[in-house]
């Protein structure tokens, strides 16, 4: 089985970060979302992977991920000139996929519990399509699968006003080669895209075996800031305590904390789960639970928790930072005023003065 990873979206909901980097490269738990996706593929024994990238941002992804060898994968990059739909991505990858079964993975989705059981079910039963669904409280926000008692899909409905099912279709699909004819038979939707939902519905209408597998583990689309922070929290839960950097005798490290090589912690308190990236310096500061601090950062007289801090960030004399996402090479420093708690969403190369 091969894999097709879709990493061409522009990420408008993650601005300002997606102005300066592909949204799939924004890190959670100090690792780009896209690499978490590739981890899940490797875990189920897939090694041949095509990644669909946009012509505008594709080089940044190639530079970050490489040829896949360091991840135990063989990667092929396919460039999509415009966002023409998920079914168009399947058409674009037709030569790479051939007649093989494949897993299609939306590259901004996190499946923290892995895909092993889903892949095993597909390989055993081998329906034409196996959708991955999960129960959601508000199905009207999703594409929904109406499923019979045997797990066969009767109908797909996009964001139904009056849902008859609470099973939302989420970011992993398993396909046999039957999907290729379906993508050729459909027409662009009202928004000008070839919708994978329409292709699957074409197969359903023709009597093909289309099934739904319920995913009960942790899943999240990382399309919004709060989703990124929640994924960061969940993934940090599995942090292994390792102190590979320097921690002086005046510092306190509590719980599962990973301090990477070259990092220094001086007169500070760190409460896990948390990660301090390589070559970062933490002085007279507090890092609270569910914080991922990137590489080469400087925290001096700072306090931060439940946050994602990207590489080369400087935070000086500002405490009470919570639920924040701070972009690469940003600077946060103190100004005059009166404010006790701060939530910051700061893009790359930004300078912010926070009132004291």
Tell me the average pLDDT across 271-288. Answer: 97
Q: pLDDT by residue (tens digit) across 188-246?
A: 988 888 999 999 999 999 999 999 999 999 999 887 888 999 999 999 999 999 999 99
Mean pLDDT, the chain, whole residue set = 90
Residue 85 region by backbone torsions, left for phi larger than 0, else alpha for psi between -120 and 50, else beta: left
In angstroms, how far is CA 63 from the centroid of its own chain?
18
Strand, helix or coil for residue 179: helix
- Residue 214's pLDDT is 94
CATH code of the domain occupying 2-235:
3.90.550.10
**151 — alpha (psi -120 to 50), left (phi > 0) or beta?**
left
Secondary structure (DSSP) of 26-38? SEETTEEHHHHHH
Question: What is the band of 343 on the pLDDT scale with cuts at 50, 70, 90?
Answer: low
Q: Phi and psi (nearest 5°) for 125?
A: -90, -30
What CATH homologous superfamily does 239-355 map to?
A: Hexapeptide repeat proteins (2.160.10.10)
Q: What is the DSSP string of 77-103?
A: EEEESS---HHHHHHHTHHHHTT--EE
Range 175-184 average pLDDT: 97
Reported for 325-329, long-range contacts at CB under 8 A and 24+ positions apart, including other chains, are: 325/17, 325/225, 325/228, 325/229, 327/16, 327/17, 327/20, 328/20, 328/21, 328/294
> For residue 12, how many other CB atoms are within 10 A of its CB?
10
Vertex 131 angle, CA 126 and 134, to 5°: 135
Copy the structure tokens of residue 349: 């190369």
Q: How many CB atoms are located within 10 Å of the residue 94 CB?
A: 13
Integer Cα distance of 98 and 287 in angstroms: 50
pLDDT in tens, 16-32: 666 767 788 888 999 99
pLDDT tens sequence across 285-335: 999 999 999 999 999 999 999 999 999 999 999 998 999 999 889 888 876
Tokens 């279709």 locate to 169
Q: What is the pLDDT of residue 221?
A: 87
- Residue 97 predicted with pLDDT over 60: yes
Q: What is the pLDDT of residue 353?
A: 57
| 142-168 average pLDDT score | 89
Q: Can you tell me the distance from the alpha carbon of 319 to that of 281, in angstroms, rounded to the nearest whole number?
A: 16
**Which of helix, strand or coil describes residue 342?**
strand
Give the range among 140-149, 258-267, 269-278, 340-349 with minimum mean pLDDT.
Answer: 340-349
pLDDT for 142: 85
User: Residue 347: what pLDDT?
Assistant: 64
Beta bridge partners of 50: 4, 76
Least confident range from 81-90, 102-111, 158-167, 247-256: namely 158-167
Could you tell me the residue ranges of all domains in the chain? 2-235, 239-355
Long-range CB pairs of 239-248, under 8 A, 24+ apart, other chains included:
239/29, 239/272, 239/273, 239/274, 239/275, 241/272, 245/276, 245/278
What is the pLDDT averaged over residues 135-151?
89
> Left if phi > 0, otherwise alpha if psi is -120 to 50, otherwise beta: which for 323?
left
Per residue in 64-75, pLDDT (tens digit) is: 899 989 889 999
């Amino acid at each position: 089985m091969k894999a097709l990873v879709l990493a061409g979206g522009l990420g408008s909901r993650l601005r300002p970060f997606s102005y300066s980097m592909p949204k799939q490269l924004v890190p959670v738990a100090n690792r780009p979302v896209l690499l978490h996706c590739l981890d899940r593929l490797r875990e189920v024994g897939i090694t041949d992977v095509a990644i669909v990238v946009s012509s505008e941002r594709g080089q940044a992804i190639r530079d970050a991920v490489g040829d896949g060898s360091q991840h135990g994968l063989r990667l092929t990059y396919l460039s999509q000139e415009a966002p023409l739909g998920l079914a168009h991505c399947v058409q674009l990858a037709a030569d790479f996929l051939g007649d093989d079964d494949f897993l299609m993975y939306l590259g901004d989705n996190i499946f923290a519990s892995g895909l092993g059981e889903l892949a095993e079910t597909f390989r055993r039963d081998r329906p034409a399509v196996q959708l991955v669904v999960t129960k959601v409280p508000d199905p009207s926000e999703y594409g929904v699968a109406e499923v019979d008692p045997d797990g066969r899909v009767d109908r797909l409905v996009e964001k139904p006003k009056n849902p008859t099912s609470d099973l939302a279709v989420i970011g992993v699909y398993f396909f046999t080669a039957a999907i290729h004819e379906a993508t050729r038979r459909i027409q662009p939707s009202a928004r000008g895209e070839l919708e994978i939902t329409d292709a699957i519905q074409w197969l359903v209408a023709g009597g093909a075996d289309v099934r739904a597998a319920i995913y009960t583990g942790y899943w999240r689309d990382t399309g919004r800031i709060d989703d990124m922070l929640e994924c960061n929290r969940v993934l940090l839960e599995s942090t292994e305590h390792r102190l590979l950097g320097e921690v002086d005798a005046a510092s306190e490290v509590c719980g599962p904390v990973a301090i990477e090589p070259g990092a220094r912690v001086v007169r500070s308190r760190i409460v896990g789960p948390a990660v301090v990236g390589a070559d970062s310096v933490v002085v007279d500061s507090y890092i609270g639970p569910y914080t991922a601090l990137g590489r080469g950062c400087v925290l001096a007289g700072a306090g931060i928790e439940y946050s994602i801090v990207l590489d080369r960030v400087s935070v000086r004399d500002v405490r009470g930072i919570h639920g924040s996402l701070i972009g690469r090479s940003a600077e946060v420093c103190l100004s005059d005023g009166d404010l006790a708690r701060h939530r910051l969403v700061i893009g790359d190369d930004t300078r912010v003065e926070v009132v004291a």
